[in-house]
Amino acid sequence: MTAPQPAVRTAFSPVLEFAFEVRVFLAPARHIGHGAGEATEFVPITGGTVEGPRLNGTVLPGGGDWCDNRGGVYQLDARYLIETDDGAVIDITNRGYYHEEDPTSPAQYDGDLQVAEAGVYYRTAPVFRTDAPAHLWLARTVFIGLARGDDSEVAIRFYAVS
């Protein structure tokens, strides 16, 4: 009689699939307050665009990003709405961090597109809500956002994790 063979296990690494990019247009930041070693600002969102292989539409005006700066690390908490090309409305809560890293860390690219500046960590973890049947996949998928931008516009490239 032969002993049972152990199950073969394959190593698993998550895969990131580019889904779409959101460009968010920003109004000037509004100072809210500060404490010892920190400052809080609100950045109004005035609109934007959504383009990609899995989602297209516009960012509706009226959302915003609450930013807490503690020791040069920005904790971000944005909330805004997207209207898709087919008329569905999707709510996004997008949390993340921005800070400058080691200045020797390289820029990062997705093909020819620079998605992260050298020496900068700017990542988000969005959660989407909708009851539109064509877009339920958003509410059932984990995403990672790679962000880049300035005081007037932020571009976030969203990747689905599989």
| CA–CA distance, 26 with 35 (Å, rounded to integer) | 25
- Amino acid residing at 15: V
Lowest mean pLDDT of 33-37, 46-50, 59-63, 117-121, name the range.
Answer: 33-37
**Fold of domain 16-161:** Porin (2.40.160)
Residue 6 clears pLDDT 80, i.e. is over it: no
Q: Where are the domains of the chain?
A: 16-161
What band does 103 get if pLDDT is binned at 50, 70 and 90?
Answer: confident
Among 72, 68, 62, 114, smallest CA distance to 95 is for 68
The tokens of 7 are what? 């199950």
Residue 146 clears pLDDT 90, i.e. is over it: yes
The burial of 55, by beta-carbon neighbours within 10 Å (0-12 exposed, 13-18 middle, 19 or more buried), is given as: buried
Widest distance between CA atoms in the chain: 76
Reported as a single tens digit per residue, the pLDDT across 69-102 is 998 999 999 999 999 999 999 999 999 999 998 7
Reported as a single tens digit per residue, the pLDDT across 21-55 is 999 999 999 999 888 888 999 999 999 999 999 99
Among 113, 87, 85, 117, smallest CA distance to 101 is for 117
